[in-house]
Structure 1
Amino acid sequence: MMNIQIIDKKEYVVSVWSGGKTTQICLAPPHAKFEVGEFDYRVSSATINLEKTVFTSLPNYNRIIMPIQQTLTLQHPDISQKKIVLQPFEIYFFNGDMKTVSYGKCVDFNVIYKPTYKSEVGVYSAKDVSVLKKGIVYILFAIQDIQLTFYKNGKDMVNLTLPKHHSLHVTNILDDYEVHTLSHIQDNVPVYIQVSICDNDYEKL
């Protein structure tokens, strides 16, 4: 058993920040504000329209960022002058209170979460099989139109279609499931992003 909710891209909350536009895919709790201390975790995608921007400081949060279109260069100038160049779908973890400067225009994918949680981000192609574990919250964000089939103990349990840029929120998982994907996109091209979030005391993410 599990709860599955498809979120239409029209339902996302879109806001403007100093460097571009952010599309909020998920915020927990649902009626929280995107302010320090007011939310547990947030999943979003942002468009960076400036060649150089400074990220908003988010003390007491951890962050995961990944460019999904074009490369993204980051720098933490208070710690090092070294620049970190991220290729599309390359994942990077950092602390929300670190001064972070970005270089280059791109579209990125973000997860922000309190240290009382653990989170991972995975990128899947049509040939990949994902495993959803009980007790963990999952957000699947479609990069392309996809069809998903959920299997439990080898049995086909749920079939659904997830259009491009829609997302799937899976909660209250009581059994482990395998997720298989069908897409018209060739097998080695990413078709969805999967975010997993759980309490810090969960045995293993």
Structure 2
Amino acid sequence: MKFKILTPKNFQTTNWSGGTTTQLYISPESATLANKDFNLRISTAKVEANESTFTSLPGINRKLMILEGGITISHEDQYSKHLKPFDVDTFKGDWKTTSIGTCTDFNVMTTGDKEIGLYPLRMNGAKNFKFAPLLNCKDLFFYATNGNITVEISGEDYLLQKGNLLVIQDFDVPSIAISSDEAFGIVVVQVNK
């Protein structure tokens, strides 16, 4: 099992027509969004324009979670729905997608047939909360949305602060312990085998 904590100094922020996007993680590391040669890409985005058109990304599967604000997302010839904080939408990158509203969102993009779980974990504090992902978990990511969180992995403590991303590859323990003296939030991304 390998793990590391990435901080904002590791992230790349770029502009797009509707605001900014910050790449938190990409695999393989040499891949780029422009080349669409990644297996997995995790990012956040600030949607600052009230009306936005999503970039067409054929061959890419997308999951989007709202962190702040809210949008109405519309996929032409598919469906429309309103997303508020911690709601998730799953869609194909080649769908013609637009949104109305402003928000900060969390994005997971994959290629191929990877099975991805994306969900929030929010608590008003915890002492040794045992987090156990699904049995078929291969890689696990924790993105801290607020609070200072201690994560215990194999007997070692790691501090996860707001805006940091914990990356655990080849997950092979039954659970990890999470502790915080304050309210905290984590966005969990689970990549299954």
- 1:104 has 2:101 as partner: yes
Structure-2 separation of matches of 1:32 and 1:95? 20
Deviation at 1:9, TM superposition (A): 1.1
Q: Residues 122 and 158 of structure 1: is their aligned pair in 2 closer, same or farther, counting only changes over 3 Å? A: farther
- 1:160 has 2:158 as partner: yes
The 3-state SS of whatever aligns with 1:10 is helix
Structure-1 separation of matches of 2:60 and 2:71? 21
Partner residue of 1:144 out of 143, 146, 150: 146
- 1:59 has 2:58 as partner: yes
Q: Is the 8 A contact 1:150 1:177 kept in 2?
A: no
Task: Name 1:75's counterpart in structure 2.
Answer: 74
Structure-1 separation of matches of 2:153 and 2:27? 27
When the two structures are superposed, what TM-score results if normalisation uses the length of structure 2? 0.89
- 1:192 has 2:191 as partner: no
The 3-state SS of whatever aligns with 1:31 is coil
Q: Is the 8 A contact 1:62 1:96 kept in 2?
A: yes
**Post-superposition CA distance 1:10-62 (Å, at most 9, x none):** 21011111111001011010111113541111000000010111101111111
When the two structures are superposed, what TM-score results if normalisation uses the length of structure 1? 0.84
Gaps of 5+ in 2: none
- 1:122 has 2:119 as partner: yes
Structure-1 separation of matches of 2:115 and 2:174? 19
Task: Name 1:46's counterpart in structure 2.
Answer: 45
Q: How many corresponding residue pairs?
A: 188
Structure-2 separation of matches of 1:30 and 1:74? 30
Structure-1 separation of matches of 2:10 and 2:114? 25
Structure-1 separation of matches of 2:70 and 2:2? 35
AA matched with 2:151: T
Structure-2 separation of matches of 1:11 and 1:75? 32
Structure-1 separation of matches of 2:44 and 2:93? 16
Task: Name 2:173's counterpart in structure 1.
Answer: 175
The 3-state SS of whatever aligns with 1:136 is strand
Deviation at 1:90, TM superposition (A): 0.6
Structure-1 separation of matches of 2:43 and 2:153? 28
Structure-2 separation of matches of 1:4 and 1:151? 9
In percent, how many aligned pairs have the same letter? 24
Q: Residues 121 and 181 of structure 1: is their aligned pair in 2 closer, same or farther, counting only changes over 3 Å? A: farther
Structure-1 separation of matches of 2:59 and 2:96? 13
Structure-2 separation of matches of 1:134 and 1:66? 23
AA matched with 2:138: I
Structure-1 separation of matches of 2:86 and 2:157? 27
